[in-house]
Amino acid sequence: QSLNDWCAADKGFNTFKNIFLFDLTKPFFRCIVNAHTNRKRGEYIMEMYERIKDLRKNHLKLSQEAFGGRLGVSRSVINNIERNALARPDQKLSLIKLICKEFSVNEDWLLNGNDPMFVESDTFSLDEFVKQRGATDLELQIVKTYFDLDPDIRGILVDHFRKGLASAIIENPAMTVPDTPDELEAQCPPVDVGDISGTDAG
């Protein structure tokens, strides 16, 4: 069943569609229709603002401030879009385009939840790989400089850092704890333990 056929069968939503002159060929408006359809079916699919938060925290591992910095907006803008409370809705479309471009995100996933999350390329690009994971330009240059080294020298460096880091962590385990609450939550998301009332804690 096509989207237009479905809207025609749903009198209330069809009226809503006609009032706002939705172009159902556009991904942004398909997102609205899909959300409506899923609610009617009793299914739960993350809303777009929830996918943005999931992308930032669980895949890019970025704080709201760092994520906003990559997009040229403030932390408060990211906080508002993740709460679906953006003061200027017209900003949303431009931010969606920026997110997709900056992190090679599939626009259809961001708008509608259709996999894959990231745009799949036929060839591997180190630049795109590290950008998808929130790396800065300096970090990218460090990686490239490292691979410019002779393989034997890289092996010596890897062994040196492996031993040094292992010793440092044994002496001070606290150094592995993230610096900010956002980073800690991204690394260790809260676990919903459900209703534990009535459990014998003793």
Q: Quote the pLDDT of residue 107.
A: 93
Q: Which two tokens stand for residue 2?
A: 């096509």
* Mean pLDDT in residue range 116-145: 81
Per the rule left: phi > 0, alpha: psi between -120 and 50, beta: everything else, 121 is beta
Of 48, 192, 194, the residue nearest 111 (C-alpha)? 48
Q: Is the pLDDT assigned to residue 75 strictly greater than 50?
A: yes
* Mean pLDDT in residue range 151-170: 89
**Angle 90-103/64-71 helices, nearest 10 degrees?**
90
Which tens digits make up the pLDDT trace of 14-68?
444 443 444 444 454 454 445 444 444 555 688 999 999 999 999 998 999 999 9
What is the torsional sign of CA 109, 140, 80, 180? positive
Under 8 Å between Cβ of 143 and 157: no
Mean pLDDT value across the chain: 76
Of 150, 112, 148, the residue nearest 33 (C-alpha)? 112
Under 8 Å between Cβ of 22 and 32: yes
Report the distance separating Cα 191 and Cα 202, nearest Å: 22
